Amino acid sequence: MLDLLYLLSRGVLFQLDPERAHELTLWGAERFGRLLGALARRGPEVPAQLCGLELRSPVGLAAGLDKNAVALPLWERLGFGFVEIGTVTPRPQVGNPRPRVHRLKQARALINAMGFPNEGAEAIGARLERLRKAGRWPKIPIGVNVGKNKDTPAAEASADYRSAAARLVEFADYLVVNVSSPNTPGLRALQGKDDLARILGAVVEVSGGKPVLIKLSPDLEDEPLAEAVEVAREGGAAGLIATNTTITRPVADPREHKGGFSGRPLFPLAKGRLEVLLAAAGDLPVVGVGGVDGPERAGALLDLGCAAVQLYTGLIYEGPGLPARINRGLAKR
């Protein structure tokens, strides 16, 4: 039913500026979440475990789609096993100038240069509090992905990560240190050993023992990937998430948009990086993300050794029935 609604509205939505379409969809998801949720199917249970959390499905919603946590109950109804909100920065910020999201329709890809627009930790914390008080808190684990404000100098970055994490940890089942988005100047440099260790330490300190994961870029070579694993281990991270968007262009973009590339053609790069990461990570759990758009790809990343998978761009092109379809495919295996 919900898929039919998607098919009917997709033609209109895809005529709009991609970010406008996204805003409209989230507006509807926030206000009509219950009705839309009632039309949705979750698919069968596919039990999985991530950092000690019990999941009803290993398929999660990746960070960035519901940055401000406006539609948590709906994501659960679509069949996601967990949801990651954010990236949340301590102070609200508007992000980069628009237009900043572009569709590569043929390739089923997106290029985005958003730069963490979000309402800030305080406002998002207040929204989560309201959801909890209203008794509408979802039954699936919620991850909180944190970052730094654009105007915070790199030397003070760890204080930003700590502050956002400290404000939201009470709502989080796990926290994510995002050092891999390409649209905040200098952010990816924080994947280097010393900075990463400092930031991880700051977040672990306020985590109250909840799992802290590090999200990595697909553009890291083998050595920095292995170093990130070392920092993760030594600093008490519970796991890793790979990958974020790439600054490379897995398919040509004749219009040469700036930003991070996601979606279907990212899959081979993400999978290749995951192979290297999984070999280095040993028993540290890894979440696979990048170009997952159906059961085959989700299954391929789980077969590689990922504890769970996430997706974002696939939902835009395949529609709200995607998580349930993946759950059905995985349950048959």
Ligand X SMILES: Cc1cc2nc3c(=O)[nH]c(=O)nc-3n(C[C@H](O)[C@H](O)[C@H](O)COP(=O)(O)O)c2cc1C
In angstroms, the CA 309 to CA 323 distance is 11
When the beta carbons of 66 and 76 are compared against ligand X, the nearer one is 66
Using CB under 6 A, count the residues that bind ligand X. Answer: 28
Answer yes or no: are the C-beta atoms of 296 and 329 closer than 8 Å.
yes
| Contact between 314 and ligand X per CB under 6 A | yes
Residue 101 in the binding site for ligand X (CB under 6 A): yes
Nearer to ligand X (CB atom), residue 39 or residue 247: 247
| Residue 237-276 contact track with ligand X, rule CB under 6 A, x = bound | -------xx----------------xx--x----------
| Coil, strand or helix at 56 | coil
Instruction: Pick the stretch among 27-35, 62-70, 198-206, 225-233 that binds ligand X (CB under 6 A).
Output: 62-70
- Residue 57 known to be catalytic: no
Q: Which of 57/112 has CB closer to ligand X?
A: 112
- Range in contact with ligand X (rule: CB under 6 A) among 125-133, 188-196, 199-207, 283-291: 283-291
Helices and strands in the chain: count of H runs, count of E runs:
12, 13
Task: State in angstroms the smallest separation of the CB of 262 from ligand X.
Answer: 3
Contact partners, residue 208, CB within 8 Å, separation at least 6: 169
Residue 215 within binding range of ligand X, rule CB under 6 A: yes
Contact pick of 40, 53, 55, 62 for ligand X (by CB under 6 A): 62
> Which one of the listed residues 181, 207, 217, 262 is annotated catalytic?
181
Q: What is the DSSP string of 180-199?
A: --TTSTTSGGGGSHHHHHHH
199 is a contact residue toward ligand X (CB under 6 A): no
| Interface residue with ligand X, options 96, 152, 158, 178 (CB under 6 A) | 178
Query: What would the two tokens of residue 269 be?
Result: 């790069």
For residues 43 and 291, which CB has a smaller minimum distance to ligand X in the complex?
291
Distance CA 81, CA 87 (A): 19
- Closest approach of Cβ 235 to ligand X, in Å? 19
- From the number of C-beta atoms within 10 Å of its C-beta (0-12, 13-18, 19+), residue 123 rates as middle
Q: Does 292 bind ligand X (CB under 6 A)?
A: yes
Q: Is residue 93 within the footprint of ligand X (CB under 6 A)?
A: no
Tokens linked to 96 = 């980069």
Residue 140 and residue 39: Cα distance in Å, rounded? 19
Among 82, 116, 161, 174, binds ligand X (CB under 6 A): 116
Q: Smallest gap, in angstroms, from Cβ of residue 311 to ligand X?
A: 4
Our finding on whether 225 is near ligand X (CB under 6 A) is no
User: With binding defined as CB under 6 A, does residue 312 bind ligand X?
Assistant: yes
Phi and psi for 2 in degrees, rounded to 5?
-65, -35
- Name the residue with tokens 């996204």: 22
Q: Pull the structure tokens for residue 246.
A: 């790439």
What does the DSSP 8-state code read for residue 97?
P
Taken as a whole, the chain contains a residue count of 333
CB 60 within 8 A of CB 239: no
What gap in Å lies between CA 43 and CA 275, rounded to an integer? 29
List residues binding ligand X (CB under 6 A).
62-64, 67, 86-87, 101, 110, 112, 114, 116, 145, 178, 181, 215, 244-245, 262-263, 266, 289-292, 311-314
Catalytic amino acids? Answer: 181
